[in-house]
């Protein structure tokens, strides 16, 4: 039952006599009280930090569209990864940016390629101290910027792309990835990668499936980060923003094919899809707070229009409240540092 507050005139509420003991605001009176009864909490262990490593850099390169985020060298990646893990961040998602690209994204399956080298290096550095994830997609490696192999008419060839994904998944597993993130939105991608991993003797390598990935305007800064060569768009394979049931269908398909975890992407603009997924999924549900969501908060805070720390915490809490077990966010390390400071950790 909803109990209206007293009229603004200051007159007693008509319900005061009937419900003299009802005063919900008692539980909001102090910060300690609010903390005690909080319904939703965000912990650094719930967070995954996306990181970019670029081939051929002498020094980390700041990203203009994502202030505070950089393209790493291998050395700076190792240092930043170790720092994030020490702060208690739950996992790392690594994206590789190669110097050269071709039509089939051959750098994705080159054992000496930037992403595979980064996986091997971080696996050696960190061992089981974190969950090491690798993006499994071809868009960073193709000269046309699409997530798959192109057919003669310029469309993405779904089945030819699955063969490349399968090979890429095995290579990443052999390099040391704990999980591979199937982000290309090809039909059957989870099943193809799962079969390839099992056949290669890698049954313990997990798949974190980008199951409900929408064709969003919020990916712009990310495409700068990976130096995307895309012309046109990816609307023939990423989900239409109008679709809610289509998101549920894609999630169900990926789970049926063997996904160990599913992702809703973007997070903040698709909380309805996230809530639906969390209510039905038998596997953990992740949400990706994407580059545009990060940059909007950053830009508004730099203008002085919002309080950055409060906005970050509120945005992550909203994603958790909607049902995410795991959140991929560029704020992960910063949030973890503030969490440690508030907790009195050294």
Peptide bond into 37 cis (omega under 30): no
Q: Which helix (H) or strand (E) holds 51?
A: strand 47-54
Tell me, what DSSP letter sits at residue 83? Answer: H
Burial of residue 13 (CB within 10 Å: 0-12, 13-18, 19+) is middle
CA distance 132 to 126: 9
Q: Is 265 tagged catalytic?
A: yes
Among 194, 213, 298, 320, the active-site one is 213
CB atoms within 10 A of CB 228: 17
Q: Read out DSSP for 296-343?
A: HHHHHHHTTSS-HHHHHHHHHHHHHHTT-SEEEETTHHHHHHHHHHHH
Q: Is 303 tagged catalytic?
A: no
The Cα-based distances of 10 to 1, 24, 233 in angstroms read 22, 18, 58
Residues 6+ apart with CB under 8 A from 7: 13
Among 101, 144, 146, 265, the active-site one is 265
Residue 334 tokens, joined: 């910063």
The Cα-based distances of 266 to 53, 287, 293 in angstroms read 22, 7, 8
- Can you give the three-state secondary structure of 127-186, one letter per residue? HHHCEEEEEECCCCCECCCCCCCECCCCCECHHHHHHHHHHHHHHHHHHCCCEEEECCCC
CA distance 253 to 198: 19
Residues labelled catalytic: 213, 265
């Amino acid at each position: 039952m909803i109990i209206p507050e007293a009229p603004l005139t200051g007159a007693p509420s008509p319900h005061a006599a009937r419900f003299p003991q009802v005063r919900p605001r008692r539980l909001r009176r102090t910060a300690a009280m609010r903390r005690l009864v909080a319904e939703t909490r965000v912990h650094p262990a719930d967070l995954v930090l996306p990181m970019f490593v670029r081939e051929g850099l002498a020094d980390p390169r700041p990203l203009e569209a994502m202030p505070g985020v950089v393209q790493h060298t291998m050395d700076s990646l190792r240092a930043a990864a170790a720092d994030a893990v020490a702060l208690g961040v739950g996992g790392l998602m690594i994206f590789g940016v190669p110097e050269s690209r071709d039509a089939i994204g051959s750098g994705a399956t080159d054992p000496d390629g930037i992403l595979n080298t980064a996986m091997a290096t971080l696996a050696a550095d960190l061992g089981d101290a974190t969950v090491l994830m690798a993006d499994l997609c071809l868009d960073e490696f193709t000269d046309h910027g699409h997530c798959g192999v192109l057919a003669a008419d310029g469309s993405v060839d779904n089945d030819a792309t699955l063969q490349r994904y399968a090979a890429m998944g095995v290579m990443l597993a052999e390099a040391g990835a704990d999980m591979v993130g199937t982000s290309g939105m090809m039909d059957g991608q989870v099943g193809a990668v799962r079969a390839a991993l099992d056949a290669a003797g890698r049954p313990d390598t997990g798949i974190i499936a980008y199951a409900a990935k929408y064709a969003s305007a919020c990916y712009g800064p990310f495409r700068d980060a990976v130096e995307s060569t895309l012309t046109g768009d990816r609307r023939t394979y990423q989900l239409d923003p109008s679709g809610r049931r289509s998101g549920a269908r894609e999630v169900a398909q990926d789970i049926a094919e063997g996904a160990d975890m599913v992702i809703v992407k973007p997070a903040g603009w698709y909380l309805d899809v996230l809530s639906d997924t969390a209510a039905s999924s038998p596997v953990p549900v992740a949400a990706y707070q994407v580059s545009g969501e990060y940059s909007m908060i950053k830009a508004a805070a730099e203008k002085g229009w919002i309080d950055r720390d409060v906005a970050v915490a509120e945005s992550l809490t909203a994603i958790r409240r909607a049902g995410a077990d795991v959140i991929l966010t560029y704020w992960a390390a910063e949030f973890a540092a503030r969490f440690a400071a508030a907790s009195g950790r050294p």
